[in-house]
Structure 1
Amino acid sequence: MAKKAVKDMSFMDHLEDLRRVLVRSTAAVIVMGTITYFFADYIFDQLIFGPTNPSFITYRFFCEASHYIGFADSICITELNFKIINTEMEGQVNIFVWICITGGFILAFPYILWQLWGFVSPALYEKEKKNAKLFISISSILFFLGVLFGYYVIVPMSINFLATFSISKIVENTFTIESYVSMVKTAVIASGLFFELPIIIYFLTKLGIVTPLFLRTYRKYAIVIVLIIAAIVTPPDVVSQITVAIPMLLIYEASIFISASVVRNKLKNEKSS
């Protein structure tokens, strides 16, 4: 029934459905972004600028870990010698608005997923439609885990590396608020979306675009890319690089497992029919 209904829809009908999804998703982001407005002081002082403090939880964790494994204070962070300045008249206003929008997007993400599921569900079978709650729950959890990973791992490691890197003692690190907040936003959102890789692979495999063989064949390239990313965003020590690389590699391996499961189920259904 669902398949036939989709076939009966015109291209304009699909566009109208997509428009409704985009409008509702945008409205949800605006509503949740408005809510973040009332917590602006906490968001900026404790969250956005939290990783600029040497007592940030991530720095303390790595310091304690270095003592535990016998590295003494080799990866302890005692100071982050840099300043954040505003150089544009409307700079802080723009940053305030974009942080509210970013916060709204993060908080509204489960609703956005629900809207997207409603858009693609008519093309799915009844059995697949029943998995809506499972899909939204797993996707949301993965996204929020990615956001936390980006905030507590990628952001502080990037700040530590960029704040301590210097080509000469003559140069003083003074970052604009735009570049700092942009780095934080990019790391958090990109990490959250990267953790959605298993879900993306699930649908790409169902569409026949990606196969487990393809993912396994290019695994070695994925490992190299992940290690390069880990080396870029972390200080030059093995512990930090492993901390960043392992979760990303696990996500890739989980994607291979999911892709293989989809192919097995597809073959099983073809045999039974």
Structure 2
Amino acid sequence: MARLRRRPREPEGRMTLGEHFREFRRRLFIAAGAVLVASVVAGIYYDRVFDLLTDPFYEYARSNPSVEASINFAEATSALSNLISLSIFVGVMVASPIWLYQAWAFIVPGLTRKEKRISLAFLGATIPLFLLGCGLAYAILPQSLSILYGLSPAGTSNIQGASMYFSFVTRFILVFGIGFLFPVILVGLNAIGAMPATRLIKGWRVAVVLIFVFAAVATPTADPFTMFVFAAPLTALYFGAWLVCRLLDKRKAASRPDWLDVDDTEASAL
């Protein structure tokens, strides 16, 4: 009986349509499996996750003992649905390095060597910036909640529905995390030649205004404190992205052949 031989890997990364589908399915299963395992672990430690996300709320309640503040599960199934949704949220965040890598690995065979290096650097910067944004959101959450709940008229209470509260908190954290990916996008556009550093520095005033508008619209809260805390690091990251793009442009200029800059009417060294 003839032995089945594994098809040798194509050195240039070319695959048939069927191989693409099988590769996509394999990557999808790995990513989904990582999210599932992380979600199960988050479910096991649900009490800690719950305490971590409700601590900013109860910090406000402790600092305002005269105000009645509590988190309420209004329906019989609310606790179960909240456990599932929070576990999935934490699972997606914790497993983000794995499913992002799987997405990158699926795209890599169709890229050149230079594009692979750029995309890998892009991936390497995405994860820490996303986590940094999420961490900043959690750090300022008590102050934001204090400002919002402080607008309640005298004699009223802040009995917060659990589903609404956790929906607000997770959206608040995700907005900050996604917003911190802004400089990575700028550097990526520069790497493909669509956003030179000179254009970034010329339009910095407009960019700063747009950053503040984005911060005002994107954040779930309407207070100026949250807007400024979100917009200030985004502005700093914008100029950080400009510095990186400037270095990349200098490197591109240094590797550019001299004969490309010769006038059409002149003879080049070639």
State the TM-score bracket (shorter-chain normalisation).
0.7 to 0.9
CA RMSD of aligned residues (A): 3.6
Q: Is the 8 A contact 1:230 1:245 kept in 2?
A: no
Report the equivalent of 1:26: 32
State the Cα distance separating 1:227 from its structure 2 match.
5.9
> Of 258, 263, 273, which aligns to 2:244?
258
Residue 125 of structure 1, aligned match among 112, 132, 138:
112
Tell me what 1:53 maps to.
58
1:117-196 equivalences in 2 (<5 Å): 117-129=104-116, 135-153=122-140, 155-166=141-152, 168-169=153-154, 171-196=156-181
Shift of 1:191: 1.6
Does residue 247 of the first structure (1) align with residue 253 of the second (2)? no
Q: Between the two proteins, what is the percent identity of the paired residues?
A: 23
Matches within 5 A, 1:10-21: 14=20, 16-21=22-27
- Pairing partner for 1:201 from 186, 204, 207: 186
Show structure 1 runs of 5+ residues with no match.
57-76
User: Deviation digits for residues 151-174 of structure 1, max 9, x if unmatched?
Assistant: 112x223322221123x4465433
Would the aligned equivalents of 2:212 and 2:228 in 1 still touch at CA under 8 Å? Answer: no
What residue number does 2:77 align with?
A: 90
Length-normalised TM-score, structure 2 = 0.73
The higher radius of gyration belongs to: 2
Change (3 A) 1:235 1:191: closer
Match of 1:22, SS state, is helix
**Residues 161 and 233 of structure 1 are in contact (CA less than 8 Å); yes or no, is this contact kept in structure 2?**
no
**1:261 CA drift (Å):** 4.0
| Cα distance in 2 between the residues matched to 1:209 and 1:17 | 31
Amino acid in structure 1 at the alignment position of 2:212: V
Partners of 2:216 and 2:222 within 8 A in 1 = no
Q: Deviations over 1:218-258 (max 9, x none)?
A: 41432432563699747566xx7654432222222223333
Compute the TM-score of the two structures, normalised by the length of structure 1.
0.72
Q: Aligned-pair distance for 1:30?
A: 0.7
Measure how far apart 1:270 and its partner are.
4.3
Bigger drift between 211-220 and 18-27 goes to 211-220
Separation (CA, whole Å) in 1 of partners of 2:39 and 2:53: 15
1:105 aligns with 2:92: yes
Q: Distance in 2 between matches of 1:9 and 1:264?
A: 36
Contact kept, 8 Å, 1:150 with 1:188, in 2: the verdict is yes
Instruction: Determine if contact 1:226/1:249 at 8 Å carries over to the other structure.
Output: no
Show structure 2 runs of 5+ residues with no match.
1-10, 261-270
Distance, in Å, in 1 between the alignment partners of 2:156 and 2:18 is 57
268 and 128 in structure 1: CA distance in 2 versus 1, 3 angstrom threshold: farther
